[in-house]
């Protein structure tokens, strides 16, 4: 992947990259601050800043107000120097977010219908859809510095391989997308991208120990320990949905049985509702079900929001099972914050109490009293915004 350091050659290339990364992380600096942060003399920093300014990458943002004396100028990234684009890939749609060069989210688009498959043709098709939406939003494609993709399943962000969208043994999906989009591409597991987005721009701001639950069709997790995202040896950490905790005989989509996901996910909600309808229980969904039409998750959400008792019982069952899993995690990690995100977060009013009931029942009081449970602030855009931020972080080579 092309990074910011590839842009500069010769003397001071590393310092330029470092200055831009500092500005991306912390926003604004005076020359004196930068001189101290980089351990470089003020005349040299001034010269480098002038070069970055001439290259259009940074801008002067006026003066710091200070009591008496000369007021120092402050510098920050020039928002118009480029864009970062994040794409979250769902089962049958994608969402898209755009950030300016200085890190402000300037455009979000949710629920763009698209079914992504692991093939070259599908990479070509998704790139076309992305380009169309960017052009519609007035984004100049040549100014996109990096694209970030949040993909379900196991992803190795270093090599660019996704094991859900597999081309062949020698070709990472990120490379095919780079060729199609004609710009650097970074890929990340969707739950981890969501964790990153929520941590930086959502409810997780400032917390150091955070667990993020991606309760979608499946169940994924992102972990932040001491302010850092946990990856594991190969980037596969967080497969909480496949924790073998349930005493049931249901085969999980991973092929094993007893996985938490078979009781705590969108697919579990769907199965529970379908089971109750099959038993002949009455619900506002009965008519559609009995006429042989397929019930969708959207139908179930509408039923929950219309206070349909059968649908509410089903979401409560999911919440109580999820809470049991969370109780175990809280005992292990002692987090200060657990964030519930993903598509099921939409039913938060009905999920919260069953989740808390199970946490109180199954966790150690001494540990769980430290933990707050909140729902995602960014909703369906969490992964897209997180992917944007990861694209920015990897472009600037930030930690």
268 binds Zn ion (CB under 5 A): no
Residue 219 binds to Zn ion (criterion: CB under 5 A): no
Stretch that binds Zn ion, among 87-95, 137-145, 253-261, 284-292 (CB under 5 A): 253-261
Rounded Cα distance, 36 and 39, in Å? 5
Least distance CB 254 / Zn ion (angstroms): 3
Distance CA 260, CA 239 (A): 10
Q: Which stretch binds Zn ion (CB under 5 A): 254-262, 263-271, 326-334, 340-348?
A: 254-262
CB of 259 to Zn ion, least distance (A): 3
Q: 172: burial class by Cβ within 10 Å (0-12, 13-18, 19+)? A: buried
Contact letters for Zn ion, residues 316-335 (x by CB under 5 A): --------------------
Among 254, 309, 353, 364, binds Zn ion (CB under 5 A): 254
What residues contact residue 11 under an 8 Å CB cut-off, 6+ apart? none
Gap between the Cα atoms of 108 and 205, Å rounded: 20
Contacts of 350 (CB under 8 A, 6+ apart): 304, 312, 315, 316, 319
Q: Which range of residues in 84-92, 108-116, 208-216, 242-250 is near Zn ion by CB under 5 A?
A: 242-250
Tokens of 351: 């999920």
Q: Is 221 in the site for Zn ion (CB under 5 A)?
A: no
Rounded CA gap, 312 and 315, in Å? 5
- Binding piece for Zn ion, criterion CB under 5 A, among 34-42, 132-140, 246-254, 303-311: 246-254
CA nearest to 241, candidates 263, 262, 219: 219
| Residue 216 backbone dihedrals phi, psi, to 5 degrees | -110, -140
Q: Does 276 interact with Zn ion (rule: CB under 5 A)? A: no
CB contact at 8 A, 193 and 88: yes
Our CB check for Zn ion shows the closer of 180 and 239 to be: 239
Q: Which stretch binds Zn ion (CB under 5 A): 70-78, 115-123, 241-249, 294-302?
A: 241-249
One residue of 242, 346, 374, 394 binding Zn ion per CB under 5 A:
242
Q: How far is the CB of 264 from Zn ion (least distance, A)?
A: 12
How many chain residues bind Zn ion (CB under 5 A)?
A: 4
With CA atoms as reference, report the closest residue to 195 among 162, 164, 229, 167. 229
Under the binding rule (CB under 5 A), the answer on residue 260 touching Zn ion is no
Distance CA 116, CA 113 (A): 10
Question: Min. distance of Cβ 44 from Zn ion in angstroms?
Answer: 56
Please identify, using beta-carbon distances, which residue of 95 and 262 lies nearer to Zn ion. 262
In the region spanning residues 93 to 132, those forming contacts with Zn ion, defined by CB under 5 A, are none
Least spacing, CB of residue 56 vs Zn ion, in Å: 49
Q: 55 or 254: whose CB is closer to Zn ion?
A: 254
Q: Which of 259, 310, 378, 390 binds Zn ion (CB under 5 A)?
A: 259
> Which one, 109 or 242, has the nearer CB to Zn ion?
242
Tokens describing residue 125: 């098709």
Nearer to Zn ion, 215 or 337 (CB): 215
d(CA 318, CA 320): 6
Would you count residue 251 as binding Zn ion (CB under 5 A)? no
Of the pair 246, 259, the CB lying nearest Zn ion is at 259
Q: Between 328 and 379, whose beta carbon lies closer to Zn ion?
A: 328
Question: Which two three-digit tokens encode residue 183?
Answer: 């710009």
> Of 201, 224, 235, 221, nearest to 382 (Cα)?
201
252 binds Zn ion (CB under 5 A): yes
**Smallest distance, Zn ion to C-beta of residue 260, A:** 8
Residues in the chain, total: 399
Burial of residue 288, with CB atoms counted within 10 A of its CB: 0-12 exposed, 13-18 middle, 19 or more buried: middle
Residues 63, 72 contacting (CB under 8 angstroms): yes
Q: Are 339 and 221 in contact (CB under 8 A)?
A: no
Q: State in angstroms the smallest separation of the CB of 325 from Zn ion.
A: 13
Nearest CB to Zn ion, comparing residues 242 and 394: 242
Residues that bind Zn ion in the complex, under the rule CB under 5 A: 242, 252, 254, 259
């Amino acid at each position: 992947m092309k990074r910011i350091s590839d842009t500069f050659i010769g003397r001071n290339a590393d310092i330029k990259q470092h200055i831009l990364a500092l500005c991306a992380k912390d926003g604004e600096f005076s020359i004196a601050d930068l001189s101290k942060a980089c351990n470089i003399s003020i005349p040299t920093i001034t010269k480098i800043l002038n070069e970055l300014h001439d290259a259009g990458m940074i801008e002067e943002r006026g003066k710091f107000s200070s009591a008496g004396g000369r007021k120092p100028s402050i510098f920050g990234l020039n928002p118009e120097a480029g864009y970062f684009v994040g794409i979250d890939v769902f089962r049958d749609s994608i969402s898209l977010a755009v950030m300016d060069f200085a890190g402000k989210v300037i455009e979000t688009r949710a629920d763009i219908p698209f079914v992504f498959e692991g093939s070259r043709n599908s990479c070509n098709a998704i790139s076309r859809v992305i380009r169309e939406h960017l052009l519609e939003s007035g984004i100049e494609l040549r100014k996109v510095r990096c694209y970030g993709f949040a993909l379900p399943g196991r992803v190795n962000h270093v090599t660019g391989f996704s094991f859900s969208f597999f081309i062949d043994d020698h070709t990472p999906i990120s490379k095919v997308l780079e060729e199609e989009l004609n710009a650097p591409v970074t890929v990340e597991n969707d739950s981890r991208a969501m964790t990153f987005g929520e941590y930086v721009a959502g409810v997780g701001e400032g917390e150091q120990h955070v667990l993020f639950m991606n309760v979608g069709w499946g169940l994924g997790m992102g972990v932040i320990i001491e302010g850092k995202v946990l990856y594991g040896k190969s980037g596969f950490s967080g497969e909480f949905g496949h924790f073998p905790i349930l005493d049931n005989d249901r085969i999980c989509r991973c092929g094993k049985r007893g996985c938490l996901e078979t009781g705590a996910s969108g697919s579990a909600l769907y199965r529970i509702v379908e089971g109750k309808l099959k038993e002949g229980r009455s619900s506002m969904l009965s008519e559609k079900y009995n006429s042989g039409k397929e019930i969708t998750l959207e139908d179930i959400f509408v039923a929950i929001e219309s206070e349909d008792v059968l649908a509410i019982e089903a979401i409560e069952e999911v919440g109580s099972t999820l809470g049991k899993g969370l109780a175990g995690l809280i005992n292990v990690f002692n987090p200060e914050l657990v964030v519930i995100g993903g598509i099921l977060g939409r039913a938060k009013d009905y999920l919260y109490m069953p989740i808390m009931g199970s946490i109180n029942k199954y966790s150690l009081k001494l540990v769980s009293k430290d933990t707050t449970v909140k729902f995602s602030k960014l909703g369906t855009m969490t992964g897209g915004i997180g992917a944007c931020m990861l694209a920015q972080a990897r472009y600037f080579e930030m930690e």
